[in-house]
Structure 1
Amino acid sequence: MNNLIRILWVIFLLTPLICKAQKIDEEQLIQDMAYLASDELEGRKPLSEGSLKARALFKDRFTELGLTSQYRDFTQYFSFRNRRDGKLYENAANIIGFIPGESTEKLIVITAHYDHLGRQGDKIFNGADDNASGAAALLAFASYFIENRPQHSMMFVALDAEEMGHQGAKALVADFPFPLDHVVLNINMDMISRNENNELYAAGTYHYPFLKPLIQKVSEGRTPNLLFGHDEPEMGRDDWTLASDHAQFHLKGVPFIYFGVEDHEDYHKETDTFENIQTDFYINAANLILDIIMSLDKDLVQ
């Protein structure tokens, strides 16, 4: 009986710690994604009112969580000219939070773009999967790591203007606040909330094969089914090496892993809405990616 009492007492003492150690606030994750993909934000086109509201969400949350930043008010402003319409976009903005590492000054940079196609006539391109999904997961990961300090310093970057040629990522790499050789890894998320075959891809290990066994040991037997690929030059358009913001890190020799799903029927359509995501898939994908980041944070310490 005394042993039973001791066991029950240990469980009682550990319960708050177990609750605290829960990795993702699933309700908050879904709420953030629903807001980012809502009609109120009108597709988050750079410089639009909806884009400004998205920026405010990231800045307010980073402030609330207690993240720091190398940029005033968490904001890295930049300007670019859109090749398609020739328009000059001034004061586009990446929103950047920072958590110092426990044992190394080396960096892991976690990115997800928050922009999408905006409003076109009467149609709103909400961009739920592309990429409210990755952007909301970014907030969830920042919330976890501020409570569970990582070994590496971590930068959480909500990137603007990905849909206009990775402009936010280009600006980040061009004006990075640390030497780029301090970055051991870029984790990029772009479309992680739905797939009919329960498949999520981790692209990048063709170029950085040392990462593959480290990821496999975490993903084996998990759901969604994590696949490798979409990163070999001979694949043509199916090669995702330069398909999203991670490309700008790769071009500078920084290892990357790009988490995403294959294109679906609502890709870049007004039907990419919150109602069409797969909630269980999304939550499982976010938890899996976080577990992989946690493992890589430990494994890559030098």
Structure 2
Amino acid sequence: MFRLPRVPVLLLAGAFPLFAGCRSEPSEPAATDSVVAADSAPGDRLMRDLEVLAHDSMAGRAVGTEGGRLARDYIVAQLRSMGLEPALDTFAVNTSVEPDSEPREGVNVRVTLPGTTHADRYIVTTAHYDHLGVREGEVYNGADDNASGTAGLLSLVRGWVDTPTEHSIIALFTDAEEGGLRGARHFVDEPPVPIEHLLLAVNLDMVGHSSSELWVAGTWPWPSLRPLVEAVEPAEPVALRFGHDTPEDQGADNWVMASDHGPFHRAGVPFLYFGVADHPDYHRPTDDVATIDPAFFRGAIETVRRVVARADSDLDGERSGPGR
């Protein structure tokens, strides 16, 4: 997640073959369809996707690296296993890591699930799959930030394939969120559908770290969304909290532009952002799968599913109302 000013991140284009000794030798190939059993229970599959995406073999999933490509290949393979054919949208990323560095290629993965009633009106759901890569010989696996949101969005897509929504869903897995929200900005700058047809943006970023509190931002700048969210009963053991989106929230406590929902908000698209508060493992090499609370993680994704379902039934082809 892009919440605070960043120190320069060392993105090693050739680091992938070198990372194995940074923590542990990978026990199996990470980016294949076969790693998730077809008969896995949904909750097990959610955790398995998280484990794969936050594995050392992904080398921290930095934009423009082999690890980022492996993560992207895994996402694409999972979508294809659902019978979907995702689109890949590329864009240039100037990392500014070195004075003579070449621009890297960012790649968004998106798929559209047609709605049953309002096929030309869309709820866009986002999660960034990139993270910080390898720094000073350590892999930044980003289990919470944001393998959790990526695995969660894959889980939601599986549910929508089985039970189609009234509005069309765009599931957008963004690249290059870290350091500038560039994948989301690229989507908003070159949308595949008219921007006015986007009724709501729902962003998942850091939704799995051990906590009882899941924060939702967006209801202050878009006040008509608050009753929609309040009508939803959070799944156990999640306590849903509103905030981090008012003028009184200063600096890092204001999340309105902190992640991929920001470019949508700036373009006039109402948004809801779901995430946990910053924690000691945020943007550190300790952000590993062991820090994820499976019960909370499953409850967070189920809570988001319920909110999207409520929005799908309430919006009826129209945006929720003007923002502040």
Whether TM exceeds 0.5 here: the answer is yes
Cα distance in 2 between the residues matched to 1:137 and 1:210: 25
- For residues 247-286 of structure 1, what are the structure 2 equivalents within 5 Å? 247-286=262-301
92, 97, 103: which one pairs with 2:111? Answer: 97
CA-CA distance at 1:46 after TM superposition: 0.7
Relative to structure 1, the CA distance from residue 219 to residue 85 in structure 2 (aligned partners, 3 Å threshold; closer, same or farther) is farther
Residue type at the aligned position of 1:60: A
Relative to structure 1, the CA distance from residue 135 to residue 222 in structure 2 (aligned partners, 3 Å threshold; closer, same or farther) is same
The SS at the match of 1:233 is coil
The SS at the match of 1:188 is strand
Residue 35 of structure 1: aligned partner: 52
Cα distance in 2 between the residues matched to 1:158 and 1:85: 27
Residue 52 of structure 1: aligned partner: 69
Identity %: 37
Residue 120 of structure 1: aligned partner: 135
Contact kept, 8 Å, 1:195 with 1:262, in 2: the verdict is no
Residue type at the aligned position of 1:133: S
Which residues of structure 2 form unaligned runs of 5+? 1-40, 318-324
CA-CA distance at 1:82 after TM superposition: 2.3
Relative to structure 1, the CA distance from residue 26 to residue 233 in structure 2 (aligned partners, 3 Å threshold; closer, same or farther) is same
Larger Rg belongs to? 1
Residue type at the aligned position of 1:97: V
The SS at the match of 2:59 is helix
The SS at the match of 2:103 is strand
Q: After superposition, what is the alpha-carbon deviation per residue over 1:133-165, rounded to whole angstroms, capped at 9, x for unaligned?
A: 000011111111011111110011110010020
Does the alignment pair 1:204 with 2:221? no
Structure 1 runs, 4 residues or longer, greater than 6 Å off:
none
Higher helix share: 1
CA-CA distance at 1:292 after TM superposition: 1.0
Does the alignment pair 1:292 with 2:294? no
CA-CA distance at 1:83 after TM superposition: 4.3
Q: After superposition, what is the alpha-carbon deviation per residue over 1:53-82, rounded to whole angstroms, capped at 9, x for unaligned?
A: 11111111222212245xxxx200000212
Q: After superposition, what is the alpha-carbon deviation per residue over 1:182-213, rounded to whole angstroms, capped at 9, x for unaligned?
A: 000000000000243x0000100001111111
Contact kept, 8 Å, 1:195 with 1:264, in 2: the verdict is no
Measured on the aligned residues, the alpha-carbon RMSD in Å equals: 1.4
Cα distance in 2 between the residues matched to 1:78 and 1:226: 35
- For residues 1-302 of structure 1, what are the structure 2 equivalents within 5 Å? 25-69=42-86, 74-83=87-96, 85=98, 87-104=101-118, 105-196=120-211, 198-219=212-233, 222-237=236-251, 238-302=253-317
**What number of residue pairs does the alignment pair up?**
274
Cα distance in 2 between the residues matched to 1:25 and 1:229: 30
TM-score, reference length from structure 2? 0.82
